[in-house]
């Protein structure tokens, strides 16, 4: 739990505003929302006539806030890393999106950490109301107008690593953050101890990033990040970035997979967020063969759903081009005639790349 505003809020607000102003948020317009109209997307410059960025300071969206409870839920599992050897023609879906749970009949269904953890945050809020009575509160899991990583650092859960992820000294960085903003006051004596930066001279994450999205230690340009390109960005992807995307079809774990702090991170035993084996190193043929109905059946209620049906096919086309496997040519030729520009462009690039492998 951390009192808000916290000591470094001004510094963090300045960094966030500079990051957005530099265009590094790409098409994520929800990060550009301003104080005057926080419910709508805006391309207004930070500090412009529409007011400061909503996410820059907690007092903008939550003027009543006096504290924030930040929770970390690990999601590491025994499955291989993205940087390990995989079967020929395998794609990669980010570890966090593998989640599933078994229903009452024992059938594994997709699950989404947003919903799973928000339910737990709401349960925590109910317990606090029982103990402290009425107070204002809002719970979020990657869905609210706040910067969770900055709050987590202020709450003593870890430090921000050179790959811009929160790193817990014992749990590593494979973790979800859930936040409960409250109007409860926190005594100064109860403030958490800060965890010092322990990245040292290590640059493995920067060295491993295939699209050079980590432009400097502790600095990331989202417009070059594979996670952004495969999930948040819609439409066409710049040709110069496609080769670096490798076999990633949703998200990217590379900078975390090479991080020494994740070598011994504990494995999650969360029954609601278990890994779905079919999503670990999934065959590109399988993903390419999904129609919209099957895509919905496989991924409704899953984080994978966010990329959309066309977005997933676009990403698969790029992974096929990077595979060097000529057996994907017939599918890519079909997609090269697609109505969707993003898929059509990706398929054309992939065909050209495979032709060079002959």
pLDDT tens, position by position, 338-347:
999 999 999 9
Shared domain for 182 and 239, answered yes or no, is no
Catalytic, out of 12, 76, 142, 197: 142
- pLDDT, residue 51, reads 78
Q: What is the mean pLDDT of residues 265-286?
A: 95
In the annotation, is 142 catalytic?
Answer: yes
pLDDT tens by residue, 105-146: 888 899 999 999 999 999 999 999 999 999 999 999 999 999
- 43 in any annotated domain: yes
pLDDT tens by residue, 66-101: 999 999 999 999 999 999 999 999 999 999 999 999
pLDDT tens by residue, 211-229: 999 999 999 999 999 999 9
Query: How far apart are alpha carbons 231 and 223 in whole angstroms?
Result: 11
Tokens of 150: 């900055």
- 269 in any annotated domain: yes
Instruction: Give the residue carrying structure tokens 């930040």.
Output: 70
- The CA–CA distances, whole Å, from 236 to 169, 228, 230, 318, 330 equal 39, 13, 11, 11, 21
- pLDDT, residue 186, reads 85
Shared domain for 117 and 96, answered yes or no, is no
- 317 in any annotated domain: yes
Query: What's the first-to-final CA gap in the chain, in angstroms?
Result: 59
Contact 178, 73 (CB under 8 A): yes
pTM for this predicted structure: 0.92
- pLDDT, residue 41, reads 42
- pLDDT, residue 357, reads 65
pLDDT tens by residue, 149-186: 999 999 999 999 999 999 999 999 999 999 999 999 98
- 82 in any annotated domain: no
Shared domain for 178 and 269, answered yes or no, is no
> Residue 176: which residues within 8 A CB-CB, separation 6 or more?
72, 73, 75, 96, 113, 117, 141, 142
Which residues span the domain enclosing 252? 92-101+202-355
């Amino acid at each position: 739990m951390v009192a808000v505003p916290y000591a470094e809020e001004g510094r963090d607000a300045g960094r966030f505003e500079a990051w957005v102003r530099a265009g590094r948020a790409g098409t994520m317009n929800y990060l550009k929302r301003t104080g005057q109209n926080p419910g709508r997307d805006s391309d207004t410059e930070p500090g412009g006539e529409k007011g400061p960025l909503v996410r820059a300071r907690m007092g903008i969206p939550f003027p009543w806030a006096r504290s924030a409870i930040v929770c970390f839920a690990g999601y590491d599992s025994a499955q291989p890393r993205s940087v390990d050897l995989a079967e020929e023609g395998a794609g990669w879906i980010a570890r966090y999106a593998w989640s599933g749970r078994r229903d009452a009949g024992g059938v594994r269904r997709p699950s989404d950490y947003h919903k799973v953890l928000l339910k737990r945050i709401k349960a925590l809020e109910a317990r606090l109301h029982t103990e402290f009575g009425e107070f204002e509160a809002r719970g979020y899991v990657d869905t609210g107008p706040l910067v969770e990583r900055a709050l987590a650092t202020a709450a003593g859960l870890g430090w921000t690593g050179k790959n811009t992820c929160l790193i817990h000294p014992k749990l590593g960085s494979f973790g979800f953050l859930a936040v409960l903003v409250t109007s409860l006051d926190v005594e100064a004596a109860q403030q958490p101890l800060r965890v010092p930066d322990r990245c040292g001279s290590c640059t493995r994450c920067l060295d491993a990033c295939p699209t050079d999205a980590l432009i400097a230690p502790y600095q990331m340009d989202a417009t070059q990040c594979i996670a952004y390109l495969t999930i948040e960005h819609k439409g066409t992807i710049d040709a110069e970035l496609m080769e670096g995307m490798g076999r990633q079809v949703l998200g990217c774990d590379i900078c975390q997979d090479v991080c020494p702090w994740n070598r011994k991170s504990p494995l999650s035993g969360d029954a609601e967020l278990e890994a779905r084996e079919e999503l670990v190193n999934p065959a590109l043929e399988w993903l390419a063969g999904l129609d919209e109905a099957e895509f919905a059946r496989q991924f409704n209620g899953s984080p994978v759903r966010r990329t959309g049906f066309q977005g997933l096919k676009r990403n698969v086309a790029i992974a096929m081009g990077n595979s060097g496997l000529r057996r994907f040519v017939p599918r890519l030729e079909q997609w090269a005639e697609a109505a969707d520009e993003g898929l059509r462009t990706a398929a054309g690039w992939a065909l050209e790349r495979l032709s060079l492998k002959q």
